[in-house]
Amino acid sequence: MNNGPALPPAPAAPRALAEEAHQRIISMIFEGVLKSGDLLQEAALGEVFGMSRTPVREAIKRLESEGLAVVEGRFTRVRTVTPADVEEVFFLRLELEPQAARFAVRLPPAQIDAMEAKVRKLMVSDPTVNDLHRQTDYEFHALLGREFGNSAVTQTIAALHRRTCVFDHTQVPERFLVGCQEHLDILDAVRSGNADTVEALLRVHLEHARDAVLNRLRRGGAA
């Protein structure tokens, strides 16, 4: 039975296009296609990506909040992340997060179980759903610091996390499943009530993340 010509595929949702533009610009920065000081032009990038200026504009705004772009007068330019930047951010995270996470052993078992379920769901999810990965990772680290009870430290950790979350599994794919398993191991330590193990495992987790990011930057520089 002929139902007439096939309908064209539905256009991608604006949010999905902004997400795609965001990831593609990040890749261009890390691979050296866009260099420090280069202009981020909505029209030019939209033409390259085959999309309108609106999602590109949203992506650039997001890059500003993540520290990868800076506004200079009427122009927005690339601020390249350097190894020194990464070392600086992870130095602070390593000073704050493992100590704060010791108090996570006070968490109610139901909250630990709920986070474990989210991590396990993430491990079998569509790897292209970047928002799910970021949100789960953010919630995991926020949960670990919640029982510390210091709002200034909590806010600082969240700000530092935002500066490194651009290096998600799309940029360091080798960290995805490994990082999820490290999350599960940390949750097991929290459940057991062993604060020393929680601190040690989170420290190793952050060191592994830092090293993966530094290696990614070196590969981009070499390319």
Judgement on whether residues 94 and 186 belong to the same structural domain of the protein: yes
Confidence at residue 115, expressed as pLDDT on a 0 to 100 scale: 97
Judgement on whether residues 70 and 112 belong to the same structural domain of the protein: no
Confidence at residue 28, expressed as pLDDT on a 0 to 100 scale: 84
Count of the separate structural domains present in the chain? 2
- For residues 138-142, give the mean pLDDT: 93
More confidently predicted of 74 and 97: 97
Q: Is there a domain that residue 189 lies in?
A: yes
Q: Which residues contact 25 (CB under 8 A, 6 or more apart)?
A: 34, 40, 45, 59, 60, 63
Q: Is there a domain that residue 26 lies in?
A: yes
- For residues 111-139, give the mean pLDDT: 87
Judgement on whether residues 72 and 165 belong to the same structural domain of the protein: no
- For residues 147-152, give the mean pLDDT: 93
Judgement on whether residues 88 and 47 belong to the same structural domain of the protein: no
Angle 204-210-213 from CA coordinates, rounded to 5°:
140
Judgement on whether residues 70 and 146 belong to the same structural domain of the protein: no
Judgement on whether residues 133 and 185 belong to the same structural domain of the protein: yes
Per the structure, the complete domain to which residue 40 belongs is given by 14-78
Q: Is there a domain that residue 6 lies in?
A: no
